[in-house]
Structure 1
């Protein structure tokens, strides 16, 4: 992946552990590149600070595939990633150690490991070409240039924080400020033209009016990695004077759909396909469904940003495509104007109840309109009569579950109301702020 040739910036990269000019970053990264040159694949302890950014830049310069390891990975997860990837070297806070991996012959820039919700985490092989195509498309639709200053505090082992949040500034030549942690106070303390966050981050900022107003001079507030609740969308718009830009993507496809910098920003929707990307909806049999804004279907995508495949012991297994289409595993609606609304994961967010198909997100957004509700997650629970029962888990101020059921029934079709509401102290989330619905139980 080509790094842009641009004038040196005195503080091109700023982190809690220090800052570097662009020249200094490339100088340090070049030293890393010399030390790892010829290695088949290397791992990096992806702590959210300067050594990780230097290590990733060095690997790109050396043309060596890099495997980020989450800093909070447990011993089993860490051992699995090192063993499965075959990494021969480990870069950790400026040090390079031999981890005696088997090595792999990959033509890749990154190997990112999925969250492992359906088994052990899988290594997703992403090419330099896919990253370049994605960043160039985002630069076009977000009007992202070298004149921007990007501020975020996201983890450096996912698409959002690493590919967009580090490789984007490297490719486009803009300034990067990483705040270490994505707190409202940290974001407010660092002036920028673009801010990246996940819904949990934006929810906390919207709940801190002073921090939110400090972001008003920014050009773009970008949200991704999970659906942004409509009340948070509206709160940010009211406090900052601009609606956030939502986008959609996944590890295997990078970013494929987004609102535009110079276009409409529609609450509850993630926008239009990026240049070069095509999307469609299909039913369970693979038959295309209409883009009428109402029909819920399985979302498929195709374009230059797709993964090369998954790591397997024998090499790389190509992705499972249907006529060139990648099945995202998400369900969505697409309007006649091309705007996408993500309903959620097909496995957890498409609830089939009493002969109806109900999107969990619609019920969650309605629950969040209740003044007592702070967080909500909705799932389908097996039911002998309905097939699945709509069940809500809610973090709220004192409120009766029956009142919340009636609240939803008065605003949506009655069959979309939760049949059960459980008041909980918190919702289980992963490092990117996504609710882990598989961990929700009524006990």
Structure 2
């Protein structure tokens, strides 16, 4: 297959050429051009050598981006490690993936779990030469091993661990083929080119921040400006300085929506953006509407997961409809199935719920060391069982209503998706945050339970008021029968609500 990063290949071949001088990465006031990145990553790739697998201490820094690019140039699979992982989880990941090296920024304090691994510091500052923004880079470096830039499509590129909501995290082996095809499909859907400048503040140990947010711009020959940590002031600054795209998760866009009424500069900056993209969880409809009203720009959503990378998206030239994740990306097949996992849901009525199954070149290869889990994840004819449930509108737009395990509620003979009830609750002015689960009910089978963070804790809306609110907007059988009031909802690092924690509260 063609190299993952044509601009880096060109910069390696011609260090004095135009491509080499284009901006590639910027983290705060530290940056690298394509020529500097190519030389730095190539030098690091030569140090990695022929390791079977390496770990990357994935802080939101320039060093992490360079380390992952170097591993990809060397043709060595990289395992991004979440620096916030607890000792037990981190120990499981290291034991399961068995890396021989760990790459980290100089000065990073690594936990004892990693003490047995050989450490390589990604010492960008200490390499001879002077680069843009004060970063010191090599004037020349030995290229990576022959063929490393042009490995087979099925060669493993990354091992990314799932969130572990149903047991110990599983390592999804992501081949180069999946990265290339996903990023090219997104380029088609989003009209993404080398002229785009992306800004985001996402973590770099997962698909959204690392593959889409760092490798995506590099594959296009564009540039990325990482905020280090998300701040609305940083979004304003970068969009005013020429950034064209913003990636975020719903908690980030919620903060934006909350800030906009008192921050006209942020509204003007967002209005300049070519594309605002949200993912990793559903963006509540009321946040969509508040952002659109203040800026004239609509956020588009996409749908993916660790094992599949990206499956669907609202297209840049399509209708940015709130509450949907658009249509399947080029090359991706998608179907909804009944509970038996094989009978296809044929309806495009916006009501009939089914599990999403996907098939295409965007899929992972296997769960590392877990042939049983890999086999169970696929149907006999090669469809991946996502565990997500959705409906499809008449024009093919997909609307996800939750996870099969936690968000599909069977009540009174109906199959109900928690997501649509959550959106309805969030339209109530007295609700700041909402989650919906089901619990056993002798009469209904399951009853709908709402977990609410009220806008005013001193005067929360009553359970009856919320039930009537949902019944008026959706249907009486979708109203919550029980309401719990909380100070905050439990969330993971990507902003997803951890419903299993709610169910045990």
Q: Same fold (TM over 0.5)?
A: yes
Find the aligned partners of 2:407 and 2:116 in 1 and give their Cα distance. Answer: 40
Find the aligned partners of 1:412 and 1:58 in 2 and give their Cα distance. Answer: 51
Alignment of 1:325-364 (within 5 A): 325-364=383-422
**Which is further off, 57-66 or 405-414?**
405-414
Find the aligned partners of 2:305 and 2:380 in 1 and give their Cα distance. Answer: 18
Residue 410 of structure 1 and its aligned partner are, at CA, apart by: 2.2
Residue 377 of structure 1 and its aligned partner are, at CA, apart by: 0.3
Residue 36 and residue 442 in structure 1: after superposition, are their counterparts in 2 closer, same or farther (change >3 A)?
A: closer
Residue 266 and residue 315 in structure 1: after superposition, are their counterparts in 2 closer, same or farther (change >3 A)?
A: closer
Determine helix, strand or coil for the equivalent of 2:473: coil
Find the aligned partners of 1:315 and 1:156 in 2 and give their Cα distance. Answer: 29
Aligned-residue CA RMSD in angstroms? 2.0
Q: Is the 8 Å Cα contact of residues 84 and 313 (structure 1) preserved in structure 2?
A: no
Aligned equivalent of 1:90 = 102
Spell out, residue by residue over 1:316-358, the C-alpha distance to the aligned partner (whole angstroms, 9 max, x if none): 9565233121111000112232110001100111101111111
Alignment of 1:244-283 (within 5 A): 244-283=299-338
- Choose from 284, 291, 313 the match for 2:347: 291
Aligned equivalent of 1:438 = 500
Determine helix, strand or coil for the equivalent of 1:260: coil
Spell out, residue by residue over 1:92-120, the C-alpha distance to the aligned partner (whole angstroms, 9 max, x if none): 1158998459xxxx930000000000100
Q: Is the 8 Å Cα contact of residues 23 and 222 (structure 2) preserved in structure 1?
A: no
Residue 127 of structure 1 and its aligned partner are, at CA, apart by: 0.2
- Choose from 45, 63, 75 the match for 2:57: 45
Residue 212 and residue 394 in structure 1: after superposition, are their counterparts in 2 closer, same or farther (change >3 A)?
A: farther
Aligned equivalent of 1:311 = 368
Alignment of 1:14-413 (within 5 A): 14-16=26-28, 18-94=30-106, 99-100=116-117, 107-191=155-239, 192-209=243-260, 210=263, 211-285=266-340, 286-292=342-348, 293-312=350-369, 317=374, 319-396=377-454, 397=456, 398-399=459-460, 400-413=462-475
Q: Is the 8 Å Cα contact of residues 87 and 99 (structure 1) preserved in structure 2?
A: no
Which consecutive residues of structure 2, in runs of 5 or more, have no partner in the other structure?
Answer: 11-18, 109-113, 119-153
Q: Which has the higher helix share?
A: 2
Residue 406 of structure 1 and its aligned partner are, at CA, apart by: 2.0
Residue 195 of structure 1 and its aligned partner are, at CA, apart by: 0.3
Find the aligned partners of 1:110 and 1:147 in 2 and give their Cα distance. Answer: 27
In the comparison of the two structures, how many residue pairs are matched? 439
Residue 419 (1) aligns with residue 481 (2): yes
Determine helix, strand or coil for the equivalent of 2:26: strand
List structure 1 segments (4+ residues) > 6 angstroms apart after TM superposition: 95-98, 313-316
Aligned equivalent of 1:3 = 5
Determine helix, strand or coil for the equivalent of 1:215: helix
Residue 386 of structure 1 and its aligned partner are, at CA, apart by: 1.6
Find the aligned partners of 1:387 and 1:152 in 2 and give their Cα distance. Answer: 44
Residue 429 of structure 1 and its aligned partner are, at CA, apart by: 0.4
Q: Is the 8 Å Cα contact of residues 270 and 297 (structure 2) preserved in structure 1?
A: no
Q: Is the 8 Å Cα contact of residues 245 and 273 (structure 2) preserved in structure 1?
A: yes
Residue 335 and residue 12 in structure 1: after superposition, are their counterparts in 2 closer, same or farther (change >3 A)?
A: same
Spell out, residue by residue over 1:173-212, the C-alpha distance to the aligned partner (whole angstroms, 9 max, x if none): 1110000112222212212100000111111101111234
Residue 422 and residue 345 in structure 1: after superposition, are their counterparts in 2 closer, same or farther (change >3 A)?
A: same
Determine helix, strand or coil for the equivalent of 1:180: coil
Work out which of the two has the higher radius of gyration on C-alpha atoms and give 1 or 2: 2
Q: Is the 8 Å Cα contact of residues 249 and 257 (structure 1) preserved in structure 2?
A: yes
TM-score by length of 2: 0.84
Residue 203 and residue 314 in structure 1: after superposition, are their counterparts in 2 closer, same or farther (change >3 A)?
A: closer
TM-score by length of 1: 0.95
Find the aligned partners of 1:92 and 1:386 in 2 and give their Cα distance. Answer: 54
Q: Is the 8 Å Cα contact of residues 24 and 218 (structure 2) preserved in structure 1?
A: no
Q: Is the 8 Å Cα contact of residues 199 and 223 (structure 1) preserved in structure 2?
A: yes
Residue 411 and residue 382 in structure 1: after superposition, are their counterparts in 2 closer, same or farther (change >3 A)?
A: same
